[in-house]
Amino acid sequence: MPVQTTFDFDAMLSSAKEAYGEVLLELADEGAEFVFTYTDNVAPSTTAGALVKKYPERCFNFGIAEPNQVGASCGLALSTGLPVFAQVFGPFLSLRSADQIHTDIAYNDVNVRLIGTHSGVTAGGGPTHNTIADLALYRAIPGLTICVPADADQCKKFIRASIGYQGPMVIRIDRGGSPNVYADTGYDFEIGKSIEVTEGDDVTIVSCGSFLYWSLMAVKLLGDKGVNARLVDMHTIKPLDLDAIDKSAKLTKAIVTVEEASINGGLGSAAAERLAETSYGGKFARIGLPDEFLVLGDPEAVYDFYGISPEKIAARVLKLLGK
């Protein structure tokens, strides 16, 4: 059943980068036992900074040594038996720390939750700081759960659900304020189970992260054109909700994926693999960032340049449908 969403962009901005610190502080106050490691971009004024100030004995600052931080987070999980939440600057998590994620975290199957901030193109540092190859890397690492929250509240849900979840996990969030997708935050949530955001029988749009809101805007634009679009929040990329992909294939004759990541190896590739294996006969398209070092600019300008604005998502869907 679809959930209640919001189209009120200006009134609904919030930050997942603040939300993870807020919920960790709440959990600590509630008596939850965990360790927190972080990089030097956690300011004292943030909610994560408040956690560090109130519970310094469980918090460890690793400066700008991300690979060391990831490796040490594994050691802390093994030595304490507690879950470790590791806030890592996203651009340097997936590529600089790839060996530590693979060999230390995943191989040892430890309960480390790598919170990769500044994902996509939101770091502001241009091509060297764009976090767009990460989903492809993460998907290839055995046993690694990949979570891409759609908004700040969903980020909190992931943090809370991860306390009792077994195995290593990446939680991928952007840099700053993003619209809240869900007006009613009491919806059913489970790691690995997607959410049907809107109903429709013409096309299914499968999206995740901050681009779920852009996809929701595209659904509204498509509705104005007489196209009933079904929207699925695939917030967990791995394990992928295969039942949701199969259901989409049965309900609509066209499926489109939308993600703020490289077009190679991410959500679109994961969906395409399932559709190919089950002999889907409908139309399919991937919308994401191209196989190149991206242009430099504000995130929204970059999105528009590469055709990932709501208007251009809608136009791509209309073209796919032949309308």
| pLDDT for 10 beyond 50 | no
Looking at residue 190, the DSSP 8-state letter turns out to be B
Q: For domain 16-179, which architecture applies?
A: 3-Layer(aba) Sandwich (3.40)
Closest alpha carbon to 87 in 17, 138, 28: 17
Angstrom distance (rounded) from CA 184 to CA 167:
30
| pLDDT for 212 beyond 70 | yes
Question: Does 178 or 154 have the greater pLDDT score?
Answer: 154
Angstrom distance (rounded) from CA 113 to CA 135:
15
Using alpha carbons only, how large is the chain's radius of gyration in Å? 19
Query: How far is the CA of 268 from the CAs of 21, 27, 206, in angstroms?
Result: 30, 34, 9
Across 121-130, 156-165, 285-294, 307-316, least confident range: 121-130
Query: What are the sequence ranges of the domains in the chain?
Result: 16-179, 195-321
| pLDDT for 227 beyond 60 | yes
For 58-88, b/e burial (b = at least 16 CB within 10 A) is bbbebeeebbebbbbbbebbeeeeebbbbbb
Across 53-57, 81-85, 119-123, 222-226, least confident range: 119-123
Domains 16-179 and 195-321 share a fold: yes
Closest alpha carbon to 113 in 37, 53, 14: 37
Confidence of residue 133 (pLDDT cuts 50, 70, 90): very high
The phi, psi pair for 50, rounded to 5°, reads -65, -35
| pLDDT for 26 beyond 60 | yes
Confidence of residue 17 (pLDDT cuts 50, 70, 90): low
**Other Cβ atoms closer than 10 A to 306:** 19
| pLDDT for 14 beyond 60 | no
Write down the residue that tokens 């997607």 correspond to. 194
Mean pLDDT of 40-69: 89
Mean pLDDT of 261-268: 97
Q: What would the CATH number be for the domain defined by 195-321?
A: 3.40.50.920
**CB within 8 A of 39, min separation 6: which ones?**
61, 62, 63, 64, 66, 69, 87, 88, 89
Mean pLDDT of 122-151: 93
Contact assessment for residue 214 and residue 308, using Cβ atoms and an 8 Å cutoff: yes
pLDDT tens track for 178-201? 788 898 889 999 999 999 999 999
pTM of the shown model: 0.93
Tell me, what amino acid is at 313? I
Angstrom distance (rounded) from CA 323 to CA 311:
15
pLDDT attached to residue 240? 98
Mean pLDDT of 269-296: 97
Alpha-carbon torsion (220, 225, 228, 230), positive or negative: negative
Confidence of residue 295 (pLDDT cuts 50, 70, 90): very high
pLDDT mean across residues, the chain? 92
Closest alpha carbon to 215 in 287, 157, 300, 149: 287
- Phi-psi map region of 165: left, alpha, beta (phi>0 left; psi -120 to 50 alpha): beta
Across 3-12, 17-26, 309-318, least confident range: 3-12
Mean pLDDT of 79-91: 95
pLDDT attached to residue 9? 46
Helix, strand or coil, per DSSP, at residue 101: helix
Closest alpha carbon to 316 in 233, 232, 255: 255
Please give the share of the chain, as a percent, with pLDDT higher than 70: 93
Looking at residue 228, the DSSP 8-state letter turns out to be -
| pLDDT for 2 beyond 80 | no
Confidence of residue 18 (pLDDT cuts 50, 70, 90): confident
Helix, strand or coil, per DSSP, at residue 230: strand
Mean pLDDT of 152-156: 94
The phi, psi pair for 54, rounded to 5°, reads -80, -30
